[in-house]
Amino acid sequence: MLRQNKKRRKDILTSDFIGNTPIRRCDYLSSKYNTNIFIKEEFHNPGMSSKDRPALFMIEEAIRKGKIEPGGTFVEASSGNTGYGLAMIAREMGYASKIFVSKSCSSEKVEILKSVGAAVEICENSNGLHDFYSTQFRAQSYAANNSNCYFTNQYYNSSNIKAHYKTTGPEIWQQMKGEVTHFIAGIGTGGTISGVGRFLKEKNKNINIWGLEPTGSILSHFLTYRTLPTEYEKFEPIEGIGRTFIPGSLDINCVDKIFQIGIADSKSAAQEYKNATGFLIGFSSAALVAMLEAHINSLAFKQTDIIVVLFPDHGSRYMSKLYSKNEIVNEKSKVI
Ligand code: PMP
């Protein structure tokens, strides 16, 4: 469903083109759990993900503050989506982009990054600035050692939260006419849940703001104990969510609960959702669907609840990981 009422301008750099994504009631999940579940469909953004919003805010702020000269290079560490938004917008504005992605990034995302002219470098992990092999460390040192480069640093850039506070949160509030009891989103940089959570809590402090991370990630530990765990499990990230450090873009005070989910459950949920609805959903969106199923008893939804779940991107970015024949065979054999 494309937005009908927008004039497609020659450039994409209009705040009325990025954002204003639809919310759709999901009859499948609503009837399955006997409640009201709405999906905020962020794949309707021009770069097909929620990350166009912070990408635009970070670029605009850098230019406004004179952090980069015309024709310079925007540098970012990304699981792919911020990188794509950034590269797309940078190109429109006459800048180059260099994106550092971790080796877990899907091949589709690497290809689409290159298609908008981004220089892509694959790194070992995305474990944060303290790890020499991480996307963040590599991006920071590249920007420091090359002229006219600016590292947007989405994990510590206040424009990340601001983008969601100024756009995604108000959109949800208006689209739901203020009738929302829960907002649920995956946590990567924390920008989405912090910006939307802060906005919705200011409107109504009783709205439940719930996050999701992959099993083994440390953010739920941090929410409970406000310290880092002394021991880390090695965990496999779900693309876009899960951390081994606490990002500066996560305002933990905006979050009420964080749930965890595994990769196998998320892959099965993607298949089930596709079979039930015909939609190809992204990996972290599938993780959210899997979370509803796995935690449904403790979620304790009421029939009158109105739950908004944010789907950040589209399944077409994960054909090889979620929907290829091999994956389907593997998942089936696992079930048997
Ligand atoms: N899902 C996907 C697919 C993403 O690309 C991201 C961004 N890293 C997220 C979820 C999490 O969003 P945020 O960074 O705002 O926490």
Alpha carbon distance 247, 112 (integer Å): 26
- Mean pLDDT across 316-329: 79
Q: Is residue 63 located within the same domain as residue 140?
A: yes
Is residue 109 within 6 Å of ligand 1 at its C-beta? no
Q: Is residue 160 part of a domain?
A: no
Minimum-distance ligand 1 atom for the alpha carbon of 195: 15
Which pLDDT band holds residue 333 (cuts at 50, 70, 90)?
very low
At 30-53, the pLDDT tens digits run 999 999 999 999 999 999 999 999
CA within 13 Å, CB half, 97 = 30
At 166-198, the pLDDT tens digits run 999 999 999 999 999 999 999 999 999 999 999
Alpha carbon distance 56, 182 (integer Å): 27
- Mean pLDDT across 144-155: 97
Q: Which of 50, 187, 199 to mutate to test the pocket of ligand 1 (most atoms within 8 A of CB)?
A: 50
Q: Is residue 13 part of a domain?
A: yes
Complex prediction ipTM: 0.99
Is the confidence at residue 3, as pLDDT, over 90? no
What's the domain count of the chain? 2
Q: How far is the CA of 51 from the centre of ligand 1 (A)?
A: 7
Instruction: Find the catalytic residue in 40, 51, 162, 267.
Output: 51
Q: Is residue 216 located within the same domain as residue 306?
A: yes
Is residue 54 within 6 Å of ligand 1 at its C-beta? no
Q: Is residue 326 located within the same domain as residue 214?
A: yes
Does the annotation count 51 as an active-site position? Answer: yes
Q: Is residue 1 part of a domain?
A: no
Is residue 45 within 6 Å of ligand 1 at its C-beta? no
Q: Is residue 56 located within the same domain as residue 35?
A: no
Minimum-distance ligand 1 atom for the alpha carbon of 81: 5
Q: How far is the CA of 336 from the centre of ligand 1 (A)?
A: 32
At 97-143, the pLDDT tens digits run 999 999 988 898 899 999 999 999 999 999 999 999 999 999 999 99
- The answer to whether 102 touches 135, Cβ cutoff 8 Å, is yes
Give nearest CA residue, ligand 1 atom 4: 240
Q: Is residue 157 part of a domain?
A: no
Q: How far is the CA of 10 from the centre of ligand 1 (A)?
A: 28
Q: Is residue 181 located within the same domain as residue 274?
A: yes
How many C-beta atoms surround the C-beta of residue 234 within 10 A? 6
- Burial label for 33, CB within 10 Å (0-12, 13-18, 19+), is middle
What proportion of the chain, given as a percentage, has pLDDT over 90? 85
Helix (H, G, I), strand (E, B), or coil: what is residue 176? coil
Domain range enclosing 217: 6-44+167-331
At 202-247, the pLDDT tens digits run 999 999 999 999 999 999 999 999 999 987 777 888 999 999 999 9
